[in-house]
Amino acid sequence: MARKFLYIIAFLIVLVIAGLFALRIWSTELTKLALVPSTAFEQQAPLKANAYADPKMWISRPGMASDPARWQPPLGTPATDGASDAASSAPSPNASQAERQDYAVFFIHPTSYLDRAHWNAPLAGGEADRIAQIYVKGMASPFNQAKEIWAPRYRQATFGAFLTDQPEATQAIDAAYADVHNAFTYFLSQIGPDTPIVLAGHSQGALHLLRLLRQDVAGKPLAGRIAAVYAIGWPISVQHDLAGLGLPGCDKADQAGCVMSWSSYAEPADPSMVLDTYRNSIGFDGQPRGDSPILCTNPLTGKIGGSAPASANIGTLVPDEELTKGHLVAGYTPARCDERGLLLIGEPPVMGNAVLPGNNYHVYDIPLFWKNLQRDVTRRVAAWQGAQ
């Protein structure tokens, strides 16, 4: 009996080793098999022009009870002396409605739909909606000093759409953008005509945000109302993309009307999968992006490139295991932009189980610098207002 048991254990070990070997060789193919839909694309019916007048179409919007974007995480371990001084200069995290700064935020959440049964997510309900609300809570909350925060539900493209060059993937992304554009149009109709605007998005949300900038903002009067843009977790080529956005990268901490963007990796970093895709993609100018540097604005300094020690980090949002709660910890990670345009954060910090292969901290791009981002947007809006 014992010998049979050992045979079984040995057989299972061989299976595990073979599985790991296969995963290492065919990881991309296996990931695509697991996440890319094999079904035909289902044409999405256009939403009605006034669809976003329905409060249910928003995860966050003014007047909403229990608004996830208004969440303020508690403080965790004491800050270092330098971080404490920096934190004390930031506005009160629990500002009342009367104390909030007069600007409006349009935030586009990242991909929360992983189902391969459809190319686009349903508008509400289910696991994807639950995760989207968690993302808004952790990623839009740094903007909680704003008088208005708007974060739409939209029929996002499924995660697998970003792993294939099938025409259905482009159709899914276009369908998702159509909803975002509809929501943005309604957002503009609801805010004051002179209200400064902050645009923010992460991952798929950043991709749609960049399209909004190119089509609705660049070269138009609306560009003059943009106090800041946070297109995070999506690579922007300095050479082939930035000019098409109509706004420069943020090169000063108090600069308004500019773009902040970064993608976070712990060290040693292996961004090969991301860089291979980037290298073979076409820029907004119609030219291959190749090895052109990626825009990296350091969230600890508010400038393009450079480095900053962990002491400059005034508050990382360290989440719980389910990513539903967390607390702010100062001095948690440093940040430096490397020559490729990636943001390196030193040794892998403990942030949870959502770290991607290659020490890719994509899911944590915003939580890693939560408090610095809150201070950054306050400073840029003040600079925009001072220039009027």
What is d(CA 85, CA 221) in angstroms, rounded to the nearest whole number? 39
Tokens of 66: 């229990």
- Kindly report the number of other CB atoms within 10 A of residue 64's CB atom: 16
Q: What is the pLDDT of residue 338?
A: 97
| Helix H or strand E segment including 85 | helix 81-88
Q: What is the pLDDT of residue 296?
A: 98
Phi, psi of 224 (to 5 degrees): -70, -15
Q: What is the pLDDT of residue 323?
A: 67
Q: What is the pLDDT of residue 96?
A: 58
- Cα distances (Å, whole numbers) of residue 353 to 321, 346, 357, 361, 364: 7, 18, 11, 10, 11
What is d(CA 153, CA 179) in angstroms, rounded to the nearest whole number? 8
Q: Are 177 and 211 in contact (CB under 8 A)?
A: yes
Q: What is the pLDDT of residue 22?
A: 39
The predicted model scores a pTM of 0.88
Averages of pLDDT over each 10 residues, the chain, 388 residues: 38 39 44 72 88 97 95 72 38 55 96 91 89 96 97 95 90 97 98 96 98 97 98 98 98 97 97 93 97 98 98 95 85 98 97 92 97 98 95
What is d(CA 297, CA 304) in angstroms, rounded to the nearest whole number? 4
